[in-house]
């Protein structure tokens, strides 16, 4: 495995703080945090922090949150054949041929049916958290869709543009997961351009949803909330709306709530979650559109996430027990739910409960766990509190290839 990280978030905070010539007190004042939080992070007493804290520190230090959390920055390599490559994905998103005005699509393009089958397969792989496979397949899918969009005309060209828009969206979320937010933003811009030329009226809305998520990962929380709410206002459903329209609207509300919770705007979070819950109740059962689920189950999972973010850990665990039909969600959503449970248990100093939740998450989406920065931080934190040299948590840390 090829992941290499600095030993802790505290090391990164201390290094950046000293580079900015700030004392711990000065950073605390600038971030509007307790100096005790910064002191404990830098001393290694705590190996993790709430995302609202990470975002506050990132803003104060003028870096992206991914700089602090130390998430993996490349794909895991398991063999020589079809090795996933960040460089190949960057080249597919931003080919030099575009700048030189060259014609790069020399091979016969695939049919529209072949493209649509490929994007459905890629979306399924992404939902299952198989990041390496996504990294291997996606560059060629983008090139194929570009070639088809140029070669075809009329309705076929529009259909190819829609596939291209979705492929760029997958590229954007994949690059964001690897901490490449700027490249992800480029992919999203290209996705929105392709969506406007495509034949699917919902793809632009999906693009705004992805853009809000990327802004959240960049720490641009106000921008994330603004984008999600503006898009939600544009597509706000009425009594004649179809379930897909309700679902996309609900996802946008949850995107806005994710930004609001990290801005510590509790009232806005509650309002947005209530609206999303009402949309989910109207749908009646979770559905998956464009690789994203929405319905009563996902609304319940989101509520648990927001409660954890707001520090209401006991309430989060109570809410987690009554989330309906968890099995209906894709593996990555279920795994993230279990990580939220683990965070709540850890904050309540119930390390055994935290470990069991993390092991459940690993069984649900093992490869996703190796890329998920919050999971890795929490495992590192639990391991630092473990006295035994050999234990289930140290074994989990070894499987995730966490240094230190």
Domains in the chain (CATH in brackets) are: 1-70 (1.10.260.40), 76-200 (no CATH), 203-329 (1.25.40.10), 337-404 (no CATH)
pLDDT along the chain (404 residues), means of 10: 56 88 91 89 77 82 77 61 76 84 66 91 90 88 91 94 96 88 92 96 94 91 96 88 94 97 93 95 93 95 95 96 94 97 95 96 94 89 80 91 72
Q: What are the distances in angstroms from CA 395 to CA 343, 368, 401?
A: 19, 17, 10
Q: State the pLDDT at residue 70.
A: 64
Measure the CA dihedral 39/43/44/47, to 10°.
Answer: 20
306 near 291, Cβ under 8 Å? no
Q: State the pLDDT at residue 49.
A: 73
Q: What are the distances in angstroms from CA 244 to CA 236, 286, 293, 321?
A: 12, 11, 11, 28
Q: What is the DSSP letter of 111?
A: P
Q: What is the DSSP letter of 79?
A: -
Closest CA to 176 of 138, 217, 204: 217
Q: State the pLDDT at residue 3.
A: 43
Asked whether the CA dihedral 103, 104, 108, 109 is positive or negative, the reply is negative
Q: State the pLDDT at residue 2.
A: 42
Q: What are the distances in angstroms from CA 262 to CA 53, 64, 381?
A: 8, 14, 21
Q: State the pLDDT at residue 74.
A: 67
145 near 160, Cβ under 8 Å? yes
Residue written as token pair 């201390």: 14
Q: Which residues contact 249 (CB under 8 A, 6 or more apart)?
A: 232, 235, 236, 237, 241, 279
Q: What is the DSSP letter of 326?
A: G
Beta strands 292-294 and 287-289, pairing class: antiparallel
Question: Full-prediction pTM beyond 0.85?
Answer: no
Q: State the pLDDT at residue 375.
A: 92
Q: State the pLDDT at residue 5.
A: 46
Which run of H or of E encompasses 177? Answer: helix 154-177
How far is it, in rounded angstroms, from Cα 220 to Cα 197? Answer: 28
User: Within 284-372, where are the H helices?
Assistant: 296-309, 313-321, 331-347, 351-364, 366-371
């Amino acid at each position: 495995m090829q992941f290499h990280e600095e030993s802790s978030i505290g090391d990164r905070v201390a290094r950046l703080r000293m580079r900015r010539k700030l004392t711990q007190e000065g950073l605390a004042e600038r971030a509007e945090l307790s100096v005790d939080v910064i002191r404990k992070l830098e001393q290694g007493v705590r190996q993790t922090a709430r995302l609202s804290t990470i975002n506050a520190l990132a803003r104060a230090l003028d870096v992206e949150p991914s700089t602090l959390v130390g998430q993996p920055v490349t794909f895991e390599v398991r063999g020589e054949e079809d090795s996933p490559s960040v460089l190949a994905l960057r080249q597919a998103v931003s080919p030099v041929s575009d700048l030189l005005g060259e014609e790069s699509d020399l091979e016969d393009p695939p049919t529209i049916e072949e493209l649509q089958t490929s994007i459905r397969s890629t979306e399924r792989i992404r939902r299952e958290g198989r990041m390496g496979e996504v990294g291997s397949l996606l560059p060629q899918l983008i090139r194929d869709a570009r070639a088809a969009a140029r070669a075809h005309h009329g309705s076929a060209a529009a259909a190819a543009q829609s596939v291209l828009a979705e492929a760029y969206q997958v590229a954007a979320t994949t690059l964001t997961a690897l901490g490449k937010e700027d490249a992800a933003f480029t992919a999203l811009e290209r996705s929105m351009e392709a969506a406007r030329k495509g034949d699917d009226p919902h793809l632009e809305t999906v693009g705004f949803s992805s853009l809000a998520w990327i802004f959240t990962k960049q720490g641009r929380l106000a921008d994330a909330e603004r984008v999600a709410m503006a898009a939600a206002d544009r597509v706000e459903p009425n009594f004649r709306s179809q379930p897909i329209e309700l679902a996309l609207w609900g996802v946008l509300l949850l995107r806005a709530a994710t930004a609001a919770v990290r801005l510590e705007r509790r009232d806005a979070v509650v309002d947005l979650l209530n609206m999303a819950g009402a949309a989910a109740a109207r749908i009646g059962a979770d559905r998956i559109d464009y690789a994203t689920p929405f319905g009563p189950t996902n609304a319940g999972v989101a509520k648990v996430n927001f409660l954890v973010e707001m520090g209401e850990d006991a309430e989060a665990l109570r809410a987690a027990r009554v989330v309906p039909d968890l099995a209906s969600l894709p593996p990555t959503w279920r795994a993230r739910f279990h990580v939220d449970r683990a965070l709540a248990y850890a904050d309540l100093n119930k390390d055994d409960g935290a470990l069991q939740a993390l092991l459940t998450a690993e069984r649900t989406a093992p490869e996703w766990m190796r890329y998920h920065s919050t999971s890795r931080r929490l495992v590192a934190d639990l391991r630092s509190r473990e006295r035994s040299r050999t234990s289930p948590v140290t074994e989990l840390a070894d499987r995730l290839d966490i240094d230190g």
